[in-house]
Amino acid sequence: MSGNLIFLQEIFLSIAVGALIGVEREHTKHQRIAGVRTIALISLLGTLSVMISKLADNLIYVPYLCLLAVIGYTFLLYYFRAKKLEALGMTTVLTLPLAFILGVFIGFDLYIEAISGAILATILLLSRDYSHLFVKKLTDDEIADALQFGIVCFIVYPLLPSTAVDIYGSFSMNLQSFFLIVITVSLISFLSFVLLRFWGHRALPLTGFLGGLINSVATVASLASKSKEKPSPLYLTSLATASSAMLLRNLLLVALLSTQIFSLVAVPIIAMVLVFLVQGFINTGKKGTKTELLFEQPFSVNAGLKFGAVLFGVMLLVYAVSQLSSKSMMAVGIATFIGGLVSSASVVASVSSNQAILGINNVTGAYLIMVGCFASLLAKVFTLLTTASKEFSGRGIPIIITSMLAGAIVLFLTVH
């Protein structure tokens, strides 16, 4: 491409990048001073300043001087004009230097970076009303839990040893890998809780799905108790979405920890999810109902440690049984089933990350993971039998049993 074409390309691209941000500023009517033309010209100034700096060595500081000029201009604009008219907020003030920097990127041939930055900035600006509403719905405890989660992820986790540590005889554990599992499950729980806090009251099936990512048995127990107070066909859909969320969460853990086992259990688990969803939505109406199904905390250090304790206990139980019993695989299966009644996610993580220690092949690992998932579903059956209304349990239990049969059949056909 000739130099003239490159020059024109960068000129038009810098104007387009600035205009994209400017269109949002004018369209949303958050200000009346710096619009499409102003922001586009500032972006163009950034590109031209880089072009000028390439002409001679003594001009290399031109982009930096121009950036200081743009910052000074925005300050004067805000202080002397916009502050009096109340027509220019701090967000618009910050977009002017940002547009200049994006123009500088284009001048240095960083086209993808400039375009991506402009798109992300525009999306962030457009989300103003939604982000403010979202923040208003968060409580102090939820924000504190998010900070604790950040400390765990970015301070505690990097300090853990990356090499395996002996725990129980020949049983060793990589603490970083172990803690990464805890973080992954906790992150799913945190994101689910935030979405549940924001949208959970609008649709019961969505509430069931998000609650199922956090704790599917607790979600079904809540549905079962509510079914006696206010019967609704949508409880069946919520049962299906909660169970599907549990299965998809477990499948994600397998994908992260063992790609070989994932290839064996992916089809059976997806088949179970489809059976759940088809039956759930066939048996219910289409309209949502307002209800609250919220958990007390999205994530805290204590909640993360509780999951880690359960996970470690299940891992140690499965390993100890496999070493002490002469029929180790049968004993491991029993231990896996018991662990699945408590937490299917811990069973999935334990089996997927400790194949070598347990001495199991991929097929056996796939069966053990499915046993853990089946145990969780049987816990839901017991919950419906003991706490749900007769109508809810009478229609919900067949949905669970049918899904389990579908998973068992597909697993058998897949591994043989």
Distance CA 323, CA 360 (A): 12
Q: Output the six-digit token pair for 68.
A: 């200081």
Q: Output the six-digit token pair for 98.
A: 């940002």
Instruction: Identify the pLDDT of residue 294.
Output: 42
Instruction: Identify the pLDDT of residue 415.
Output: 79
Tokens 């104007």, located at residue: 15
Non-local (6+) Cβ contacts of 349 within 8 A are: 181, 185, 253, 257, 311, 315
232-276 per-position pLDDT tens digit:
777 888 899 989 999 999 999 899 888 899 999 999 999 999 999
Instruction: Identify the pLDDT of residue 303.
Output: 57
Distance CA 258, CA 274 (A): 23
Q: Low-confidence residues of the chain, pLDDT below 70?
A: 1-3, 28-34, 81-89, 128-139, 142, 164-174, 177-178, 181-182, 184-204, 229-231, 283-308, 310-311, 314-315, 317-328, 416
Question: What is the number of alpha carbons within 13 Å of residue 77 lying toward its C-beta?
Answer: 20
Non-local (6+) Cβ contacts of 341 within 8 A are: 375, 376, 378, 379
Domain boundaries defined on the chain? 3-126, 139-415
Distance CA 354, CA 349 (A): 8
Tokens 């994101």, located at residue: 191
H or E segment to which residue 264 belongs: helix 259-282
Rounded to 5 degrees, what are φ and ψ at 228? Answer: -80, -30
| Crossing angle between the packed helical segments 175-199 and 301-324, to the nearest 10 degrees | 130
Distance CA 242, CA 400 (A): 11
Report which of 190, 149, 189, 156 is spatially closest to residue 175, judged by C-alpha positions: 156
Instruction: Identify the pLDDT of residue 125.
Output: 80
Runs of H (alpha helix) within 60-139: 62-77, 83-85, 90-107, 111-126, 128-137
358-398 per-position pLDDT tens digit:
778 889 899 999 999 999 999 899 889 988 888 888 989 99
Going from the C-alpha of 247 to that of each of 148, 345, 372, 415, the distances in angstroms are 27, 9, 10, 19
Distance CA 309, CA 298 (A): 18
3-state secondary structure (DSSP) of residue 201: coil
Q: Output the six-digit token pair for 202.
A: 């609008």
Instruction: Identify the pLDDT of residue 265.
Output: 94
The answer to whether 211 and 203 have CB atoms below 8 angstroms apart is no
Report which of 373, 316, 305, 322 is spatially closest to residue 343, judged by C-alpha positions: 373
Distance CA 24, CA 401 (A): 52
Please list, residue by residue across 27-60, b when 16 or more beta carbons sit within 10 angstroms of its beta carbon and e when fewer do: eeeebeebbbebbbbbbbbbbbbbbebeeeeeee
Instruction: Identify the pLDDT of residue 367.
Output: 92
Label each residue of 150-195 as H, E or C.
HHHHHHHHHHCCCCEEEEECCEEEEHHHHHHHHHHHHHHHHHHHHH
Instruction: Identify the pLDDT of residue 138.
Output: 64
Question: How large is the greatest C-alpha to C-alpha distance in the chain, in angstroms?
Answer: 85
